[in-house]
Structure 1
Amino acid sequence: MPQPLKVIFAGTPDFAASSLSAVLNSHHQVVAVYTQPDRKAGRGKKVTMSPVKELAQEHHIPVEQPLNFKSEESLNQLASYQADVMVVVAYGLLLPQKVLDTPKLGCINVHGSLLPRWRGAAPIQRAIQAGDKETGITIMQMEAGLDTGPMLMTASTPISEQDTGASLHDRLAEMGAKLLVKALDDIADNKLQATVQDDQLATYAHKLNKEEAQIDWQKSAQELDRTIRAFNSWPVAYSQLDTNTVRVWQANIVDHSSNAAPGTILKADGNGILVSCGEGCLLLTQLQLPGSRAMSVKDLLNAPKNQQLFAPGHQFATL
């Protein structure tokens, strides 16, 4: 068995917590955890700890939450842990060179794509949205650029036509956790060889925002299907129908032709709500109305007012 490494773990959301859990269950030693400061979240704006902080506290591990690493105090604190390596997973901060140089063996990153494709903040969702057939995990030696460092280890997985941002996130989180422990073992044994990324093949995964989740019905059914799946479970695709913001959680491409204007409801029954697109049609199967939970169209149409709202001939707003 390789020698245990002293690890500083830096991460914030659930995706990162999966990797932290795997390291905690390995023979490597987590000496400190870095995560984003507690922030207000939810309707009540309650101050909430990150999933990584919660897990660290359960295991009685020191937690550091600097806003950045600009002060000598924060850099000295980092150095005081005398870590062999720093593992960074969806931390939410760009690390300066001084931080990258602090651990004896530098910093490694668990990234949710097959680099150099989809560098950046939202690689999982962008891969689905673009229609990629596969994606994966890259363990990377970090450098000052954004996801530009040499690759240490990769693992791939196909993207199915049923995958959503949520399902692919969970699968990659599990894959990344397993691959990370293997990478740490190989680093301890000095077995890993780095592969330089080809910058000419790089694509950038821009951060998601709520505005881009508004459905443009003039696009093809295929494009919209990918976007709806990519944005499930955040920010969730939506469209205006009369005065209602309708969030679309699930939809299917159907073999149906129509000359109706994009966004027009063609049919509404227990199977779903059939809507014309710029090319082809979509069958909406799970929706969420304001002030309500997401539910199947079958359940939604049990209410007479919803039958009126989604009556054939009504049209979703177009951009």
Structure 2
Amino acid sequence: MRGNFNYLEVPDIMLTAINKYFTIPEVKYKPVEQPYHFTLEAKVSKHPVFAAFLPSLSKLDTVRLAARMDSRKDTILAASISMPFIEYDTIRVSNVKMNLTGDHSKMNYNASLDKVVFNDYKLRKTFLSGEVADNRANFNLAMKDSLNKEQYHLDGFVQNVENLYRMHLNQKGLLLNYQTWDADSAGYIQYSKDGLLVNNFLLKQGIQRLSVNTMDATPNGPLYIEADSLNIATFVTIATQDSLMAGGKLNGKITLSNYMQNPSFIGDLAIHNFLFQQTAIGDLIINTYNDSANKITAKASLINSRNDISLIGNYLLNSQEPLDFNLDINKLGAETIAAFSFGQLRHAIGNLRGKPVSKVR
């Protein structure tokens, strides 16, 4: 590291530059007004000392960092970092690159990676870019499939509004499993030291609709979530990368409370024509409600021509054993059991009959 600067002022120099573009709430620093300029070049390679602190780090190709800050020039900030490969436990990350450039009014950034492998989960070519200026950070996130076709996309911006972080999605700013979703660009998710607040966050795709709102406009207040005709396969595919894992149409209206500590919800949910491992499971109906301050009562049923199962009981909010449910199996198809065995049971036929009652705790 070399140049004309005071080592003790480096953190303040960096925060002075960043706050030109986006004010970071609650982070204190002393603005640096006198001229400065310095360059930094660094390399990090795998060393035996890492074994003491990162024993699961099995491979680390040389990481390179280059940065320059110069208040005298039009481009006051330039930085780049590259990481060819890292393997930590079961996580492998390939070819990470990031670049930043900033003048006296705005900063541009872009980042990319070729692949992330975590156990059987693979995240392929991913790109992130945007511009930061006037307390607004635009972002454009894109993820591609094995054929280099864009599969997921997220496009929006984060604003600092009176020391509150607000995230908005652009109107056509969401692509999920190749399908474009419309967003209400006026809606937002807000976060501050007081907590989370959601205002008119709305997503639509054809007949599918998802809306989220904080009910009383108070940070960390209960969330009212409404789903209409959501194809659950879209969201299951994101989590599992298996488009055939599950399917069905989700409808429901729920209120989610205390989600930062001990989440609980009341309301109604239904998955119509629920499929699992390409096997028809039935219509899943769930109803929950409060009949006292410390208890949530739930009723659930799973019904089709092969299955007839019901569950009723209570979730005790302040109990060491919060689950108190009775499971009533009138009929359970062998095909359903096989589907949930993940290949351990095959070519099953017949039904389980009768009314066994089980206590679930």
Tell me the TM-score normalized by structure 2. Answer: 0.26
Larger Rg: 2
Greater fraction helix:
1
Higher RCO (CA-CA < 8 Å; seq separation 6+): 1
